Amino acid sequence: MNFKKTMVAVAAQLLLVGGAYAQTCTPTAGVLNDGTGTINVNTCSSTNQLLSACNGLDAIGASPDTIYSVQIGAAATGSIGATPTGYDLKLALLQGTCTAGSTCIRDADNAGAGGAESFSVAGLPAGGYFVLLTSFGGSPDCGATSLTVTPLMPVTLQNFSIN
């Protein structure tokens, strides 16, 4: 099957004929502007698609890759986080639906198995991105995962003293 994608002059919008999605590249709103919440997904139902992430520096083995498209609106300030069950999650935000390339513009892989990962989207240009849920590897390398979009919760200083 041949599906055709055409970019026309002064491209403000990506036209994808036969693509899996169509997104505007200048959104005024998106999940982090007017929608937050949690979805539950089992990443084991996905298949391995990416051999590496984040400029090829981070090998992610043969783990299943669950990919969502996401609209991030202008001046979004929230965070995207995910909590895996029993496996070591790598969470990344990739460019790719409005700007060229699929480099990791944000990523998180700090906690071990079962540990929650999250990143902020503050400062990102409005547009369409991919959210990637995968794993560095190991076994299990997938499982039930809650993916959460939350509004900005700044680090809050409760107390500071010097003795």
Partner 1 sequence: MIRRLFFLACGFAASTGLVQAMTMEAGDVGPIHQFQTARSSFTLVNDTDEEVKGLKITPLRPQDRVLAAPNRIAARGNVVIDVEVDAQNDLGSRGHTFRIDFDGAAVPLLGRVSVYGLSVLHDPARVLDFDTVKAGDSPVIDYALETDDPAVRIAAIKSAPEFVTVSINPDKRGLRIRHSDKSTWGKLTGLLKIQLDSSQQKEAWIPIHTEVRGDVLPSTTNFSLGVARIGQENEYILQYRSEGKPFKLDRATLEGIDGKTTIQNCTGGDKFCQQVRMLIDGNQRSGQLNGILRTHVAGYDRDIVVLTGGLLVSKDVKIKSLDEALAAQADAPKPSPSLNQALKSMSVTEKPVEAVIPPGNGPLLRWSVDNENLLYGYAIFRADSAQGPFQRVGDIVRRSVVSKQGVVSNYAARDTGAVVGKEYWYRIAMFYSDGKREFLTEPQHVKVKEGGVENSAAK
Query: Which is closer to partner 1, CB of 44 or CB of 115?
Result: 115
State both tokens at 116. Answer: 């929650």
CB of 33 to partner 1, least distance (A): 10
CB of 98 to partner 1, least distance (A): 6
Query: Which is closer to partner 1, CB of 19 or CB of 75?
Result: 19
CB of 142 to partner 1, least distance (A): 13
- Nearest 5°: CA angle at 71, between 17 and 15? 20
Which residue, 63, 50, 108, is CA-closest to 81?
Answer: 108
Measured CA to CA, the distance from residue 132 to residue 87 in angstroms comes to 15
**Do residues 115 and 41 lie in contact, with contact meaning Cβ atoms separated by under 8 Å?**
no
